[in-house]
Amino acid sequence: MKGKIIAVVMIGVLALTIFGFSQSTQSTLASLVTPVEPTVILPENEKNLNPTIPVLTSNEEAKAVEIALNDARVKNLLEGKEYVIGKIGVMHTSELEKTGAALHICFDRPYQIEYDWPLGYCQSEQNGSSPSSNEVTLHYALPVQTLGILVDLENGRVLAIRPMDNDVGR
Amino acid sequence: MKKTIFLAISIIALLVSSAIPAAAWTASNLNVLSIREDYFYNYDFNTTDSTSYTNTDFPVTMLFWNNAEIDKVKAVYISSRWELIGNNQFARLNDGSGWEWDNDRGVKTYGLHNCHMRLYAPGSTDTMYNVDWGYYILGTTHYDYFEFAGGWSGYSEDAEAEACQTARNGQGWGVVEDWSTFYNYEAYRVEGGSHIWDNNGLVSAVYVP
């Protein structure tokens, strides 16, 4: 009996020693992988003062969701699938003019969806103006986890439906 | 069948790519950061013409530190099936001896949807040094979708996570995701229809042995 008690005590002491060593090692490793943080300083000159980016009002956000969910193409893509509305953000030109909204519709899992997926847009969009109807598409099947939707708030229409795979944009 | 589809996509992409000019974008939190005697901007730039917030590309999201060097880090990504491809962007850096520009095409994963990381340090040394971070380099991350067909690029935050995963899995490097603020938060927004901003402002630190 006495021998058993001594054995239990020794095991306890050993366990505490190992635990303590492990904690010490972990804190040493943590200090190794945590560099000193930088500080922010003033930009080189005044022209780097940052701009005011346009934002969506809560009404505009709600309107964007409504337009997206009422779009026939979006309805068709969502049919029979579980989804939630994800991020909602402003769409704007490089001159910081608000042109609409962008939102994510996130599925519960990836779905293989056959559709006329966009390959991109022509030059007008790349120059900073609103995306137009000159969309280049190709019909093929793609695993899609999230749809990126661009909405023209002024004219109440969906400008683009973009597929995203994996966890991008969620 | 899948290969045929992607070949078709690639051909269409190349056909429509010629009309797409390189573009600069509008950062909302461009700043200069300092660490010891070193300085750097917290975004990369589209050209070397200016360090204006209207000339930016993406926020800095990665810090490789301790014993990092451009080719050493790229080699790890290449061994994890990333490739050396992309167009040049530029970083404005000061390794304690004056401001200079560095350019990099970066490394990216395969496919028409790919993860792209550009790595920066002065070209003469391919690394920077201070006593706090040791030999270090900086990186920006984003995803490209059909970029050669005028598609869209962005989601720096998600791409940062993939770059971290590769560093961790490729060589077992110590990664602290979202380690510290680099003061470059970008709310989700779409600029010009094709540049998608999304960054939590926290850089990930990768310890390079």
- Is B190 part of any domain? yes
Closest A-chain CA to B153: A120
Same domain for A117 and A85, yes or no, is yes
Distance between B124 CA and the closest CA of chain A, angstroms:
23
Could you tell me which residue, B43 or B113, shows the higher pLDDT? B43
| pLDDT band at residue A36 using 50, 70 and 90 as cut-offs | confident
Provide the pLDDT for residue A38: 82
Measured CA to CA in angstroms, residue B21 lies from A3, A31, B43, B44, B201 at distances of 82, 46, 20, 18, 28
Report for A28-32, B84-88, B116-120, B170-174: range of highest mean pLDDT? B116-120
Q: Cβ contact (<8 Å) for B192 and A89?
A: no
* Cα A150 from Cα A161, distance rounded (Å): 7
User: What domain range is A152 assigned to?
Assistant: 58-164
| pLDDT band at residue B85 using 50, 70 and 90 as cut-offs | confident
Residue A25 pLDDT > 60 = no
Give the residue carrying structure tokens 């945590």.
Answer: A34
Best residue in B51, B152, B204 for a mutation probing chain A (most A CBs within 10 Å): B152
* Cα A80 from Cα B97, distance rounded (Å): 61
* Cα B26 from Cα B28, distance rounded (Å): 6
What's the first-to-final CA gap in chain A, in angstroms?
Answer: 61
Q: Cβ contact (<8 Å) for A126 and B33?
A: no
pTM confidence score: 0.83
Distance between A82 CA and the closest CA of chain B, angstroms:
22
- Is A44 part of any domain? no
Nearest to A125 by CA among B152, B58, B55: B152
Average pLDDT in the B169-194 region?
93
Q: Cβ contact (<8 Å) for A94 and B26?
A: yes
Same domain for A27 and A77, yes or no, is no
Least confident of A82-91, A97-106, A139-148: A139-148
Same domain for A86 and A146, yes or no, is yes
Q: Cβ contact (<8 Å) for B189 and A90?
A: yes
Q: Cβ contact (<8 Å) for A126 and B21?
A: yes
- Is B159 part of any domain? yes
User: What domain range is B168 assigned to?
Assistant: 28-208
Q: What is the dihedral of CA A82, A114, B152, A149, to 10 degrees?
A: -40
Q: What is the bridge-based pairing of β-strands B38-41 and A39-41?
A: unpaired
Closest B-chain CA to A33: B207
Q: How many domains does chain B have?
A: 1
Provide the pLDDT for residue A7: 60
Least confident of A119-133, B76-90, B158-172: A119-133
- Is B10 part of any domain? no
- Is A47 part of any domain? no
* Cα B112 from Cα B6, distance rounded (Å): 8
A90 reaches B (C-beta below 8 A)? yes
Q: How many domains does chain A have?
A: 2
* Cα B110 from Cα A97, distance rounded (Å): 35
Average pLDDT in the A66-78 region?
97
Best residue in A52, A94, A146 for a mutation probing chain B (most B CBs within 10 Å): A94
Enumerate the residues of chain A whose CB falls inside 8 A of the CB of residue B53. 48-51
Percentage of chain B modeled with pLDDT above 90 = 81
- The structure tokens listed for B202 are 């926290």
- The structure tokens listed for A150 are 């661009």
Could you tell me which residue, B195 or A166, shows the higher pLDDT? B195
| pLDDT band at residue A131 using 50, 70 and 90 as cut-offs | very low
Please give the mean pLDDT across all residues of chain A.
Answer: 77
* Cα B128 from Cα B67, distance rounded (Å): 10
